[in-house]
Amino acid sequence: MRCTVFGTGYLGATHAACMAELGHEVLGVDIDPGKVAKLSGGEVPFYEPGLAQVLERNIAAGRLHFTTSYPDAAAFADLHFLGVGTPQKKGEYGADLRHVHSVIDTLAPLLDRPAVIVGKSTVPVGTAAELGARARELAPAADDVEVAWNPEFLREGFAVEDTLRPDRLVLGIDPQRPGRAEELLRELYATLIDDDVPFLLTDLPTAELVKVSANAFLATKISFINAISEVCEATGADVTQLADALGYDARIGRRFLNAGLGFGGGCLPKDIRAFMARAGELGADQALTFLREVDSINMRRRTKMVELATRACGGSLLGANIAVLGAAFKPESDDVRDSPALNVAGMMQLHGAVVSVFDPKALDNSRRLFPTLNYATSVAEACDNADAVLVATEWDEFKALRPGDLAATVRSKVLIDGRNCLDPAEWAAAGWTYRGLGRS
């Protein structure tokens, strides 16, 4: 089959490469000529394990191309995916849909044959129906153009795996136009469906809501355990043991119960905020007020980390040397959007600390976003003369650290484990002051 994918960020580039991997002919489209040039040369413009290999293999096989040309894309296929970003609006909670609108407004006037546009981006409920109406208004093929929604659930760091072996496929269609989108996507995803991946057919608003509800649930699960970790701190209990014990209940499950600095990234924080904003517009704001608390619990963990560092430095961070290990919002990613690690580093700098940040993959992105922080090129350099070492992202390199690796480098043996990923007993036995979130 042939398809295009509009947008070549984390979502679009992965989808394009993976659809080619399934044997289809794919054209990735982006307005950024720099990205298109890199991708055409087999280079992934961000860090995503395994993606470069899939990209290279499929470019070499002649199945995968990239372009900035909308006319070429319209001529190339009758199935078009929409994978552009929907970031948070500046200064308010709602989602900024300008990229989605711009694709429809540019693509639709070029559609002179029947076409199916399938959205993958996370959008406020109701967007797909609006886009469908707009596309039909602008397209020469008019009523023969339809918009369907096939939300994407991929996690950064596991994007290829999640796309090629998803938990489920959800397709929302316009009930006025049954048949075509379903037929095309069943054919496109045939190998996955043959592998028993559940295929759920819904209407448009349900498909849009599945995605934001999933993210709201995941964010709530993380904030739940982080709220419990505040109680653990007040009582001396250990949230890690508690989560292990809770996780054995199959109804609860252990995943997403890791207490610590909480969630960040380009999805969970902005998705729960956009979800609240949309519910408000729909007159259902009361239904989601709990998400405000989910957001506040999450942000409180960041200030808690700063408090722990302040206390460890004798009550003031002024002039203290702080090593921050981790800048990415999570390991196996170079994404620093809404990163708890950089947020904490920035807050400590505002309190007068001399902060030195190290991350194995996210330094370039961090420098662009937070140019005023100091960046080190290794753990040892970040920890040089440190009054406290903070683990803010649980990269394997940091989980493998032993107390002896840092003892000679630091000024004070203080370790604050923002991801509860090190063994408190081991560090304490080596003479370190260990502080975790929700334990010790």
Contact residues for ligand UDX (CB under 6 A)?
A: 153-156, 215, 218, 222, 256-258, 260, 262-265, 267-268, 329-330
Looking from the CA of 429 toward its CB, the CA atoms found within 13 Å total: 6
The CB-of-215 to ligand UDX minimum distance in angstroms stands at 6
The CB-of-384 to ligand UDX minimum distance in angstroms stands at 27
Of the pair 135, 209, the CB lying nearest ligand UDX is at 209
The CB-of-350 to ligand UDX minimum distance in angstroms stands at 22
The Cα–Cα gap between 437 and 303 comes to 11
Contact between residue 59 and residue 40 where contact means Cβ atoms under 8 Å apart:
yes
Contact between residue 437 and residue 261 where contact means Cβ atoms under 8 Å apart:
yes
SS (H, E, C) 60-125: HCCCEEEECCHHHHHHHCCEEEECCCCCECCCCCCECCHHHHHHHHHHHHHCCCCEEEEECCCCCC
Catalytic annotation, residues: 267
Q: Any idea which residue has 């619990």 for tokens?
A: 297
3-class secondary structure, 302: helix
The CB-of-140 to ligand UDX minimum distance in angstroms stands at 35
Of the pair 122, 349, the CB lying nearest ligand UDX is at 122
The CB-of-280 to ligand UDX minimum distance in angstroms stands at 22
Of the pair 358, 395, the CB lying nearest ligand UDX is at 395
The CB-of-319 to ligand UDX minimum distance in angstroms stands at 30
Of the pair 254, 402, the CB lying nearest ligand UDX is at 254
Contact between residue 223 and residue 262 where contact means Cβ atoms under 8 Å apart:
yes
Of the pair 262, 403, the CB lying nearest ligand UDX is at 262
C-alpha 361: how far from chain center: 15
Q: Is 195 exposed, middle or buried (0-12, 13-18, 19+ CB in 10 A)?
A: exposed
First to last CA, the chain: 56
What interhelical angle do 10-21 and 51-60 show, nearest 10? Answer: 50
CA torsion through residues 343, 344, 345, 349, sign: positive
Of the pair 67, 163, the CB lying nearest ligand UDX is at 163
Neighbours of 251 (CB within 10 A): 5
